[in-house]
Amino acid sequence: MKTYFLPLTALAAVTILAAALSGCSPARGSETKDGLITVPASEHGNPSSAPVQPVDYRHSIHAGQYKIPCLYCHSYADKSPVANVPAVSTCMNCHRIIAGSTPYNQQEIAKVVDYWTKGQPIPWVSIHRLPDHAYFSHKRHVKAGMQCQTCHGPIQNMDHVYQYSSLKMGWCVTCHKANLHNAQFATSIDCYTCHK
Ligand code: HEC
Ligand code: HEC
Ligand code: HEC
Ligand code: HEC
Ligand code: HEC
């Protein structure tokens, strides 16, 4: 059985988050509903910190309303250190056909088609970035059955993505400490684990 021992500092928020999570999970998420968060709500990022993006792409519509799996677009998250933001070609799998049901959606989807026609990547503004001296790998965490939402929050409810967890060393180490003796997925807090 895959069980995590996560710090229980935010039990109240857990119930709310678990309800929010039931709508969407990565492919492996249904195996282990860790559904827990590691920091109190007061430390969560602010929705107003979301940057303005070149296209008004909304996770709440794609990952929320239409339940497109996270790994459909972030297809390296279970295979490599980096999750990756999808290329325009991934968008065009649907938007060759789907032009939008409202004038606003049509206008924003037309921008996507325009980048595609010109052969240009969409210049998305990057949100999460660790300093170069810190090493993180998506594969290790996602393969262990961890939900994206544990670290990124309820993305499927966000119109625009913002940084939900602090990504500070203390945040990483708190969860690693709680899983030091995890029978299946033991962690380490040696400096070289995260500083190569
Ligand atoms: C249809 C494709 C698609 C799906 C499905 C999707 N995303 Fe995304 N995601 C994107 C695009 C495009 C961006 C870059 C624009 C933005 O930030 O909104 C992005 C950005 C992100 C970012 C921020 C990247 C950064 O720059 O730091 C995170 C985190 C993220 N997605 C997580 C998720 C999670 C978790 C799910 C599932 C609940 C999900 N995404 C589903 C396309 C998708
Ligand atoms: C254990 C915490 C954790 C989990 C679980 C996690 N992420 Fe991340 N994510 C991070 C951190 C930390 C970064 C910043 C990484 C960096 O800068 O090297 C990040 C960055 C990203 C980015 C932007 C940079 C990149 O790697 O492309 C995307 C997109 C993303 N995550 C999507 C996802 C998706 C989708 C899932 C679930 C399949 C997921 N993450 C699961 C912690 C996590
Ligand atoms: C699996 C199918 C699918 C994929 C892949 C997909 N979309 Fe969509 N998208 C939809 C559907 C369905 C709608 C809703 C259309 C409507 O009713 O107006 C939509 C709506 C939109 C809209 C208008 C609503 C909003 O989100 O603001 C934008 C902009 C958009 N998509 C951009 C993108 C981009 C950029 C990508 C690639 C990162 C992408 N889509 C990938 C199915 C998809
Ligand atoms: C919610 C819990 C959680 C958070 C938050 C978390 N981790 Fe982890 N991490 C784990 C678990 C569990 C494993 C063990 C996975 C396994 O055994 O395959 C792990 C494994 C790792 C590994 C692989 C260790 C090895 O022996 O090679 C690295 C590197 C790592 N984490 C770095 C980070 C960094 C850096 C952060 C913060 C940016 C972070 N982790 C945040 C739970 C977490
Ligand atoms: C589980 C992962 C993890 C472990 C273990 C870890 N660190 Fe870090 N460390 C990080 C991350 C992520 C950052 C970047 C974010 C930040 O500055 O908080 C960081 C930042 C730092 C910084 C820069 C702080 C600053 O203010 O710029 C120093 C110095 C540091 N770590 C030293 C250590 C030492 C010494 C150890 C061993 C006792 C250690 N770290 C163990 C993840 C880790």
- pLDDT tens for 62-119 read 999 999 999 999 999 999 999 999 999 999 999 999 999 999 999 999 999 999 999 9
Structure tokens of 71? 């790994």
Spacing, Cα 51 to ligand 4 middle (Å):
27
- 134-160 pLDDT tens trace: 999 999 999 999 999 999 999 999 999
Is 195 close to ligand 5, i.e. is its CB under 6 Å away?
yes
pLDDT in tens, 17-59: 333 333 333 222 222 344 444 566 677 888 888 999 999 999 9
Cβ–ligand 5 distance for 130 under 6 Å, the answer yes
Q: Is 172 in the pocket of ligand 2 (CB under 6 A)?
A: no
Non-local (6+) Cβ contacts of 24 within 8 A are 63, 64, 67, 69, 70, 155, 156
* Cα-only R_g, the chain: 18
